[in-house]
Chains A and B, each alone.
Chain A
C-alpha cells in the first residue's frame, strides 16, 4: 500500500497500538531545556523512576539565558535557579548537557541539527512547540507538554493518536527578495492559524526542493503557527550532505546504512493526502504581519486591512482588538509604520545563512538614528562562524548590537524585551499580545526585511535596499 512520508515514519516507530488507535510511539531523540523540564525531573524523583535511555536526550539552557556578557553568571535569581536546576538534573540522571558557557550552547532547535543529534526518519520531541523545526530533515518532530517530557524520560515513548495527512505544494520559483520566511507566512495567511489542526503537513513542490536545508527549517519551524502537529520535508541529497561529518552523525558503516534508510524517506507518488493546498510562488511578496496572530499578514506594498470589510463577526472583533493593541489604523500604508527596535535571531531565523543574508544587505550602511537593533545568533557555533566571516563587524559597524546566543527577544524571558507600545520588526515566530514584552508590538518579517526596516526606520521593502 502506498504511504506518505508521515505514514512511513509513524509505522516505523509504532511500539504498540490499542484497538481504538491509541499508539505508543518510540522517541529516538529528546531535547530538553530549562523551562519545561524541572517539573518533569521532579516527577521522576517523586515516583522513584529512572531515565530509560539517557543517551537519547540532549539538554541545553536557552530560553532564560542572558545574551550579554555571561562571565559574571546569571543575575536574574529565578532564571539562575532554573538553569542551575537543569544542570543538577542532568548530572543526577546522566544526561548530556551543553551548559551556558559551552561553545556549543544555543537554541535547542538550532543545536540539534548542528550537532547531527537530529537525523532524518527519527521521531524527535521537546517541551517546546517549535520542535517542528526538525521536520525540515524528514524527521517527525513535535512539541510536547512537561507531563509528556516526563513520560519520554521514563519510557522513551509517547502516547499518540495519529494525525491526518496534509500536503502543501509550493510551485514555481520565488521572486526576488522573497525568502522561506515569506513562504511560511503566506501559507499561514492562506490556511489560518488553525488550518493545520489535526494534521501533519508535508511541504513539497519546486520551491521547497530548491531551498537550502536551513531555509527549509524556517518553514517547518512555523508549522505550529498553522496549528499542525508537525511539518515535514522529505530528505534529499542536500539533507544527506548537511549531516556528513557532524559530531553526532552516524560514522563509517553506520553512515552507509543510515543514508540507505534516509533515501527511502519520501511520500509514494500515489500516496493519499486528506487535504492538499497549492501555492504559486509568483503570488508571494515580501510579507509582514500587522496584527497579533501570525495569520495577520500583508505584503509590504499593502495596507492595514479594514475590519469593517470582514464578514465573520468573531474575526472582525479579533481584528479590532489587534489593531488597537498594535496602535494601527485601518487602511494605513504598511510602509508608513515606524519601528523602534529590530530583532534578528530565534529558532526561526537565527542561523548562519540568515545572518549572511542580512549582513550582505547591510554592508556599508547604517541603521536609522532612532532605531535600536540587535542580532542574537542561534548558537555559539553560529556566532563563531559569523565572526570568522566578519559578519559581526558588518552588524556592529551598521549600529547593531552583537549578542550571545539564546532565545532572547523571541519570547523575552530574559532581559531582552520590548517596553509597552514599542514597535519591533522581528525575525521570530509569534506576534501575540505581550509576547516580546507587555504592550510590545511585534511585526514578523524575514531577516532581509528586518534589515530594510533597520535602515529606513519604517517597515520597508527589502527590494528597495541594495
Chain B
C-alpha cells in the first residue's frame, strides 16, 4: 500500500450529505474481479448522462477538479453498501483524501486499507475550505502534523494513532496480524475446550 504523508491539491467540493457507495460506484461496476480500472466510473450517474456522455456541470468533469486529489463532501459520506470498490474507484481516479463532517463506519475503515486518508472536520471548516475549491487554490494536508494548511491558515484534525501509523508507513495489516499467530493459536486452543461446537 502506498504511504500517505503529505498531499497538496485543489480540492473538489461536492456539497451533498449522505453520499452513498451506490453513488460513488454503481452496481454494474462491481462485476469486476480486479481492484483497478474503476476511476473512470467514479460517481458514474452524476458524471455521465444516460447515453454515456459527460455531464459538463458536474465538478469532477471540469479542470482543474478532474485532477483533484482531495474531495470535500457533506456529512455521512460513504454510507450504505460495504463495497470496497468505492475507495478503489476514488483511488483510481486520483483522490487520496476525503474531508467530511462524518463518515459511515465501513467506508471509513476501508479507506485505511487503501492508503486513503478520511478527515473529519466540522461543517464550518468545510465551508471555509470550499472557498479554496471555488477559487481553484491548493490546500495541503500534512498527516504527520495532523494539519490542513490553506492560505496562511491551518486547522488540525484527529485520527487514531494506529490508523495514522498505518497510512504513514503504508503497512500491510495482514502481515502485522500474522505476527500474532501465537496469540491466535492460543485463543483457538482455549476455544476448543470451552466452545467445542464452534
Contacts and interface: CB of A to CB of B under 8 A. Distances in A.
A314 interface: yes
Nearest to A143: B82
Given A147-B173, A155-B184, A318 B16 contact: yes
A291 B160 CA distance: 35
Contacts of A258: 195, 197
A227 B184 contact: no
B118 to A, nearest CB: 13
A457 interface: no
A326 to B, nearest CB: 15
A43 B172 CA distance: 11
Interface in A302-359: 314-315, 317-318, 321
Interface string B158-198: 00111000000000011001101101100110010001111
**Most-contacted residue by chain A among B17, B32, B82, B102 (CB, 10 A):** B82
Nearest to B110: A145
A198 B79 contact: no
Nearest to A131: B82
Interface string B97-113: 00000101110011001
* Among B80, B184, B197: residue with most chain A CB under 10 A: B197
- The bracket for how many chain A residues form the interface is 35 or more
Contacts of B11: none
A293 B19 CA distance: 10
A413 B187 contact: no
Q: Main SS of chain B's interface residues?
A: loop
A20 B161 CA distance: 8
B79 A155 contact: no
Contacts of B147: none
Given A82-B31, A145-B84, A438-B45, A193 B180 contact: no
B47 to A, nearest CB: 12
Contacts of B45: 433-434, 438
Interface in A56-85: 63-64, 76, 78-79, 81-82, 85
A28 B76 contact: no
A155 B181 CA distance: 8
A131 B82 CA distance: 10
Contacts of A85: 33
A36 B113 CA distance: 15
A359 B62 CA distance: 52
Contacts of A439: 50
Interface in B77-135: 79-84, 87, 102, 104-106, 109-110, 113-114, 123
A411 B76 contact: no
B57 interface: no
B84 A15 contact: no
Contacts of B160: 20, 22, 161
A194 B75 contact: yes
A85 B32 CA distance: 11
A254 B23 CA distance: 46
A104 interface: no
Given A15-B187, A129-B82, A227-B76, A197 B102 contact: yes
A161 B188 CA distance: 21
Contacts of B34: 38-39, 42
Nearest to B113: A147
Nearest to A420: B50
A235 B184 CA distance: 27
Contacts of A168: none
A271 interface: no
A144 B28 CA distance: 20
Given A197-B102, A198-B105, A434-B45, A36 B79 contact: no
B39 interface: no
B161 A147 contact: no
A412 B113 CA distance: 27
A129 B21 CA distance: 11
A306 to B, nearest CB: 19
Contact of B23 (A24, A49, A432): A432
Given A193-B18, A314-B17, A145 B195 contact: no
A244 interface: no
A194 B75 CA distance: 9
Given A145-B106, A147-B84, A318 B17 contact: yes
A432 B82 contact: no
B82 A433 contact: no
Contacts of A64: 31
Contact of B184 (A15, A261, A432, A434): A15
Given A16-B180, A143-B106, A151 B35 contact: no
Interface string A214-235: 0000000000000111000000
Contacts of A432: 20, 22-23, 80
B154 interface: no
Contacts of A228: 105
Given A36-B84, A143-B106, A155-B177, 14 more contacts: A15-B184, A16-B180, A26-B187, A49-B174, A49-B178, A146-B35, A156-B184, A156-B188, A257-B195, A321-B16, A411-B27, A420-B50, A430-B81, A438-B50
Interface of B: 15-18, 20, 22-23, 26-28, 30-35, 45, 50, 74-76, 79-84, 87, 102, 104-106, 109-110, 113-114, 123, 160-162, 173-174, 177-178, 180-181, 183-184, 187-188, 191, 195-198
10 contacts: A20-B162, A26-B191, A39-B33, A49-B174, A85-B33, A194-B18, A194-B76, A318-B18, A411-B27, A438-B26
